[in-house]
Amino acid sequence: MTIVQFFQKYDGRFVDYDHVWGFQCVDLMRQFVKELYGVNPYAAIPQTGAAKNIFNNFIENRYFKKIYNSPTNMPQKGDLVFWGFYPFVTGWAGHVAICSEASLMTMVTFDQNYPTGQPCKYVRHSYKGVLGWLKKK
């Protein structure tokens, strides 16, 4: 499966990977890691709480490397983009989405539960609140 095929498969749908908290942004991330890379998503990206905590506590491993957001870099298609708490952008848990395309000023990501309660869809974002992203090695 390609990244575009994954986006097409889930566009307009809900994903509940863990069947615990309902349709969360982290569920979409885990489903993506499983389907695209064929690895256990909990081994590749350990669960350490909400989306912002997953990024903040992530230690580079054989699957992903951690890249911090800066004014001179941008994610690439398939990178997992993480937001921390940022008023009027994310809730207390932060957010994670999958990069579809990016420039230095904006990006389009494939999101679930953004805004709250929404199914998977493409969303244009600025970099407000972006902590960084995980890139597949």
What confidence score (pLDDT) does residue 100 get?
98
What confidence score (pLDDT) does residue 87 get?
85
The DSSP-derived string for 29-97 is HHHHHHHHH-S-HHHHS---SSHHHHHHH----SSEEEEE--TT----TT-EEEE---TTTS-TT-EEE
Cβ–Cβ under 8 Å, residues 120 and 14: yes
The ranges of the chain with pLDDT < 70 are none
What confidence score (pLDDT) does residue 91 get?
87
Q: Map out the domains of the chain with their CATH numbers.
A: 3-136 (3.90.1720.10)
Q: What does pTM read for this prediction?
A: 0.97
Q: 116: which residues sit within 8 A by CB, 6+ positions away?
A: 91
Q: Give the DSSP H or E segment for 9.
A: helix 3-10
Over residues 27-55, the pLDDT tens digits come to 999 999 999 999 999 999 999 999 999 99
- Using alpha carbons only, what angle is made at residue 108 by residues 27 and 119, rounded to the nearest 5 degrees? 40
